[in-house]
């Protein structure tokens, strides 16, 4: 049995798609000095979009709204730079104090373990490390200071890119409609609007949840007496943007810091552990999903894979951008017929649940109307009425829009 020309073309298209994907990722990795600030500016634009739209509704002049957003962003950048400089300076001054704390903790843990396991006298866990941990801490802080100019350069590029994006905001959609064929212009415009609104909502809600997490970590540090409470609050705010791994990293760092500072007084260590884990559990697993409402419809496994891929390509900045970029890719794939299977694979699977619920609703409706008989197919009117009833439910909330549904969405 030989393969048909159609199947051969299908395999060729798949192979070419893989090659194009690898080529694009390679180009993005090589051009990260330009691509990273460009994408950060785009997502800053999406983050401020709800504020700009609200100011437009209030008939605030365009010049004033753009100036307000740029001044706000400049204030954030200056505050972030000041915080980095002050934090690094404080940590450098506190290194001798924490060095003694770490050595005392090492002796305490070594003696505890020696009482349970037969270890040579004078055993030290720190001595088994293949590196000098105190020198590593100092060099890490020094590297942050050395990278401050590169961070400032990144912020400046983001600032400039965002300014021009805001200046061209109102002319982009008309240009988009004029650039594509007339029969596809409105579909592309609706697709663009869907992407911007969905990513804007995600970034806004993620910022709110991250701010709540940062405030709770700050209060935890203040209540328990943990040093540098502002540092832990800001780090919790920042790391919360990295899905799954970010919350694990900041929680672990906070508990380790509490262990170093408070040991052998284990009470505060336990308090810090309980409170930080509870904060991440409540905000990350209960409040965040309820606020997002399945907005992105992405598989958790796909999110982790995306985190790994973009982290490899762009490092830490790629981890922050991984979820929004994967969501954009899903929406685009969902609206290209040949790529729709990819959108389904990376989704959370709610679309399958929705189809099952629709079938069950149709069956319940037909049984209620006493028309569900063996060998008798439902009429078109029955199916249409059942689907209309199903459309009023919430099964499809948060799913991406397929092309045939554009006319039904306002």
Tell me: do 148 and 122 sit in the same domain.
yes
Within this chain, do residues 244 and 128 fall inside the same structural domain, yes or no?
A: no
Residue 253 lies in a domain: yes
Residues 201 and 157 in one domain: no
Task: Write down the pLDDT at residue 113.
Answer: 64
Q: How far is CA 131 from CA 99, 125, 127, 153, 259, in A?
A: 15, 12, 9, 32, 21
Q: Which of 139, 167, 195 is the last residue before a domain boundary?
A: 167
Q: What is the pLDDT of residues 388-400, one digit of tens each?
A: 555 444 434 444 4
Q: Are residues 81 and 38 in the same domain?
A: yes
Residue 356 belongs to some domain of the structure: yes
Kindly state whether residue 307 falls inside one of the protein's structural domains.
no
Q: Count up the domains in the chain and report the number.
A: 3
The tokens of 320 are what? Answer: 């922050």
Of 252, 272, 295, the position where a domain reaches its end is 295
145 and 188 co-located in one domain: no
Residue where one domain finishes, among candidates 140, 167, 194: 167
Backbone Cα Rg of the chain: 27
Q: Which domain holds residue 210?
A: 182-295
Q: Do residues 35 and 163 share a domain?
A: yes
64 lies in the same domain as 124: yes
**Amino acid 403: pLDDT:** 40
**Interior/surface letters 119-152, b for 16+ CB within 10 angstroms, e for the rest:** eeeeeeeeeeeeeeeeeebeeebeeeeeeeeeee
> Residue 403 domain-assigned?
yes
- Classify residue 228: in a domain, yes or no: yes
Closest CA to 81 of 165, 161, 159: 159
Say if residue 163 is in the same domain as residue 187: no
* pLDDT score of 97: 78
Tokens describing residue 41: 């500016």
Mean pLDDT, the chain cut into blocks of 10 residues (410 residues total): 59 76 84 86 85 86 90 90 81 77 72 63 58 63 70 88 86 70 70 77 83 92 89 89 82 88 82 90 75 63 83 84 81 74 74 62 63 54 58 44 40
Q: Are residues 155 and 192 in the same domain?
A: no
Domain membership flag for residue 17 = no
User: Which pLDDT value is given to residue 399?
Assistant: 43
Token output for 337:
């017929």
Give the pLDDT of residue 405. 42
Q: What share of the chain is helix, strand, coil (3-state, %, to 5)?
A: 80, 0, 20
In a domain, 20, yes or no: no
Q: Is residue 232 a part of any domain in this protein?
A: yes
pTM of the model: 0.70
Separation of alpha carbons 213 and 237, rounded Å: 6
Count CB-CB contacts under 10 A for residue 250.
23
| Residue range 104-141, pLDDT digits in tens | 776 777 676 666 666 555 566 555 565 565 666 666 66
200 and 130 within one domain: no
């Amino acid at each position: 049995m030989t393969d048909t020309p159609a199947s051969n073309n299908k395999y060729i298209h798949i192979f070419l798609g893989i090659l194009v994907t690898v080529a694009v990722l390679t180009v993005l990795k090589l051009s990260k000095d330009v691509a990273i600030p460009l994408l950060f500016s785009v997502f800053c634009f999406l983050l401020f979009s709800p504020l700009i739209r609200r100011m437009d509704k209030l008939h605030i002049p365009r010049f004033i709204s753009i100036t307000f957003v740029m001044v706000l962003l400049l204030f954030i950048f200056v505050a972030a730079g000041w915080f980095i400089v002050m934090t690094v300076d404080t940590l450098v001054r506190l290194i001798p104090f924490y060095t003694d704390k770490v050595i005392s903790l090492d002796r305490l843990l070594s003696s505890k373990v020696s009482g349970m396991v037969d270890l040579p006298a004078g055993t030290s866990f720190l001595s088994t490390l293949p590196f000098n941990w105190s020198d590593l801490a100092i060099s890490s802080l020094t590297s942050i200071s050395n990278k401050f100019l590169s961070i400032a350069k990144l912020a400046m590029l983001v600032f400039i890119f965002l300014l021009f994006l805001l200046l061209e905001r109102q002319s982009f959609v008309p240009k988009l409609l004029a650039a594509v064929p007339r029969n596809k212009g409105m579909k592309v415009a609706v697709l663009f609007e869907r992407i911007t609104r969905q990513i804007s909502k995600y970034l806004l809600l993620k910022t709110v949840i991250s701010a709540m997490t940062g405030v709770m970590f700050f209060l935890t540090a203040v209540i328990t007496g943990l040093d540098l409470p502002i540092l832990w609050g800001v780090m919790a705010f920042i790391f919360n943007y990295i899905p799954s791994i970010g919350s694990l990293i900041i929680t672990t760092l906070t508990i380790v810091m509490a262990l170093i500072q408070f040991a052998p007084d284990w009470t505060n260590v336990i308090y810090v552990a309980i409170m930080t884990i509870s904060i991440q559990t409540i905000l990350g697993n209960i409040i965040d999903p309820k606020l997002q409402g399945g907005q992105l419809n992405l598989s958790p496994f796909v999110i982790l894979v995306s985190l790994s891929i973009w982290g490899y390509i762009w490092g830490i900045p790629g981890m922050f951008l991984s979820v929004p970029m994967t969501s954009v890719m899903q929406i685009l794939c969902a609206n290209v017929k040949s790529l729709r299977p990819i959108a389904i694979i990376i989704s959370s699977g709610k679309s399958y649940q929705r189809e099952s619920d629709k079938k069950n609703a149709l069956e319940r409706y037909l049984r209620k109307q006493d028309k569900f008989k063996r060998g008798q197919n439902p009429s078109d009117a029955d199916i249409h009425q059942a689907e209309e009833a199903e459309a009023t439910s919430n099964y499809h909330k948060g799913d991406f829009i397929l092309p045939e549904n554009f006319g039904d969405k306002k």
